[in-house]
Structure 1
């Protein structure tokens, strides 16, 4: 009698962890080790692939693919990963929005008055403490290398630049206001509303009126 052969469904073999990590980092751009481990990839695998030059360690517990081509805002993506509660602000936000010629050497990050101040080796940060009501106002989320980066909007950043003019410099705040209006990245009403909420309307108003007088 002929033996019967039962054919069951053959389950697909799991992908090697190297492939899993490659796919994960292509999707995320930059990831923390904790995120990688939650995806089922071991720390030993990450360490081995770092030694092989397959992944690059950007800082403590922060990785990306070695062949990833960084964008101009690469440091913002790194900062967002390292300071998850922070918001890109002031000079870094002005530069991101293209309304200043300043090229900050540090990433300006706003955190809450009681938030832990990060001590990290890279990227270099300029930490500014914002009151909670200012930290929650005018936040946008932008995709940078697959990372969701919180950044203050144009009108809010201009108001903040005037509010922190001693740190930023009035010579940076005023041209940024003029450039935002010229590029139509914020309307006078949007800027004035943010300035009022930020308590700097009296300081900002003469500049705004001068720049809008002809049009």
Structure 2
């Protein structure tokens, strides 16, 4: 499981499931979030553009092949548009 946390905060260690923490500046951590309800609980998940941008930002940790595959799936299955691509690029700049 991968979890984003604000830079400078402490994450408690848990034994299960295995968790990788990714730290972000607060303004970046707060950006690109969609809220969904699941079994009566509100959950926050990064949108597609932020997710793809983060895949490329962390390509040295997850591998360039994973980042490329994420972009390929976004284009072929999710039908991203040029506007979405622009949003991904602006996420990379932050």
**Which range, TM-score by smaller chain?**
0.7 to 0.9
* Among candidates 2, 12, 15, match of residue 121 of structure 1: 15
Matched, 1:174 2:61: no
Mapped contact 2:52–2:71 kept (Cα < 8 A): yes
Where structure 1 has 5 or more consecutive residues not aligned to the other structure, the ranges are: 1-106, 201-215
- Normalised to the residue count of structure 2, the TM-score between the two structures is 0.85
Alpha-carbon distance between aligned partners in 2 of 1:123 and 1:147, rounded to the nearest angstrom: 20
Where structure 2 has 5 or more consecutive residues not aligned to the other structure, the ranges are: none
Question: Counterpart in 2 of 1:151?
Answer: 45
Paired residues in the alignment total: 94
Give the structure with the higher percent strand: 2
List 4+ stretches of structure 1 deviating above 3 A. none
- Normalised to the residue count of structure 1, the TM-score between the two structures is 0.40
What CA deviation, in whole Å up to 9, does each residue of 1:152-182 have, x standing for no partner?
0111100110011111111011111111111
Matched, 1:142 2:36: yes
Question: Counterpart in 2 of 1:23?
Answer: none
| RMSD, aligned α-carbons | 1.8
Mapped contact 1:160–1:198 kept (Cα < 8 A): yes
* Among candidates 178, 184, 191, match of residue 85 of structure 2: 191
Structure scoring higher RCO (CA < 8 A, sep ≥ 6) equals 2
SS at match of 2:37: strand
